[in-house]
Amino acid sequence: MSTHTEHDAGPTGTNGWQERYTGALMNTFGPPKTTLVSGSGARVVDADGKEYVDFLGGIAVNTLGHAHPALVKAVGDQVATLVHVSNFFATPGQVALAEKLLALLGTEGRVFFANSGAEANEAAFKLTRRTGRTKVVVAEGGFHGRTMGALALTSKEAYRAPFEPLPGDVVFVPYGDAAALEAAVDTDTAAVLLEPVQGEAGVVVPPKDYLVRAQEIARSAGALLWLDEVQTGVGRTGAWFAHQNPALVDGTVVPDIVTLAKGLAGGVPVGVCIATGGSGKLFDPGNHGTTFGGNPLAAAAALAVIATIESDDLLARTREIGARLREVVGSDARVTEVRGEGLLIGIDLSEPLAAETVAAAQDAGFILNAPTPHRLRFAPPLVLTDADVDALASAWAQVLDTAYTSRADA
């Protein structure tokens, strides 16, 4: 029996790898757009040698871009020391990362490490059951993962329908509507689950008083306020957590649960469920677990990402370069709305041509994302340079011309 590796004489180049992908991987994502083989900063290169500016960043994952020296060193050093031990044992990095996250959150609490956003949300979902209540009130348009529990908290019918029945007692309300939230939350409610900004929906930003009102509503019913910061956390909006960003939230919000993943370790899989105050003591030994969560490799990567954000002042840089990127993408009349903060940006197009725009952008050397037919999402690395934005600025009108012409020619 023979096997293929990247050094085999089998088909290579983008077309070759696409063919091999189709033959070997489950069709859960559809055909890949290309095959990427290397990267540096906010740029990646495909198997045919074509370079792209990566304005998706692995969907808000590659916080420090690609091949960042600090991340390379941290991961390399840790691989040479310890990669994994069971959770019968502690490791220094695991403890240090938990302490650092609590410090950034600015509160006391307890941390559970997992491996992804879905797993972090699964942990939080189970944690809410320890209140003795079962009802969870969630916003429409939110995305919290594809495992059975996380999927039960995600409203999109196309995701849910093939796998129903899902865990129950979940109520969906319109996002950003505090009155609807208040009407749904009662003394049977274990938790209110919200994203500070909805990423998968196309970067939807609620009213600035929404999270404060949600906190008041949850507290008055004795329910937990659970914020999913999987996409918005770790500096993505120009603050460590989006709920701390005064550009997004008018007031102080102290959630009972925060879930993180994506950008925390810069591409190394990690997930985090942080429970503040008394919520951090709801789990007892045996209530939950994980094999790989909090492993030394992920902890080292996450600590390197956080340290680099601090040392390079990337929060301020994210706010600065994000404002410029918003100006660039909003400069064309075919863009009807620009939303978001920092380097989580969503735009609306005047026509449902988001997929065509992504294709035209890829041809021009830019990786973009179309979460809906009218919307594009930008979530590039926080190390995005002025030259990267300049490149898009020079090409943007032509990209849209190509996309809009494709509709006219269809």
Question: Which of 311, 341, 360 is a domain's end point?
Answer: 311
Mark whether 49 and 125 lie in a shared domain. no
Domain count, the chain: 2
Are residues 335 and 352 located together in one domain of the fold? Answer: yes
Residues 269 and 333 in one domain: no
User: Residue 129 falls within a domain, yes or no?
Assistant: yes
265 with 208, same domain: the answer is yes
Provide the residue type at 165 as one letter: P
CATH of the domain at 374: 3.90.1150.10
What does pLDDT average to over the chain? 95
Look at residue 20 and tell me if it is in a domain. no
Q: Do 290 and 375 lie in a common domain?
A: no
23 inside domain: no
Same domain? 290 vs 340: no
The 3-state secondary structure of 234-283, one letter per residue = CCCCCCCCHHHCCCCCCCCCCCCEEEECHHHHECECCEEEEEEHHHHHCC
Residues 393 and 251 in one domain: no
The residue out of 311, 344, 373 marking a domain boundary is: 311
369 and 279: one domain? no
Asked if residue 366 has pLDDT above 80, the reply is yes
Same domain for 302 and 175, yes or no, is: yes
Q: Dump pLDDT digits (tens) for 98-108.
A: 999 999 999 99
| Percent of the chain clearing pLDDT 70 (strictly above) | 97
373 is a domain residue: yes
Chosen domain end from 311, 329, 348: 311
Same domain, 162 and 237: yes
Confirm whether 15 is domain-assigned: no
Least confidently predicted of 233-237, 372-376, 406-410: 406-410
pLDDT band at 5 (very low <50, low <70, confident <90, very high): very low
pLDDT value of residue 208 = 98
- The stretch 238-242 carries a mean pLDDT of 98
**What's the rounded mean pLDDT across residues 266-270?**
98
Same domain, 109 and 136: yes
Q: Which of 105, 197, 96 is nearest to 143 (CA)?
A: 197
Asked if the structure places residue 18 within a domain, the reply is: no
The answer to whether residue 1 is domain-embedded is no
- Residue 67 covered by a domain: no
Mean pLDDT calculated for residue range 335-357: 98
150: domain CATH number is 3.40.640.10
Query: Same structural domain for residues 317 and 302?
Result: no
Residue 280: which domain range? 72-311
pLDDT of residue 409: 67
Q: What's the whole-model pTM score?
A: 0.94
Over residues 7-25, the pLDDT tens digits come to: 455 668 888 999 999 999 9
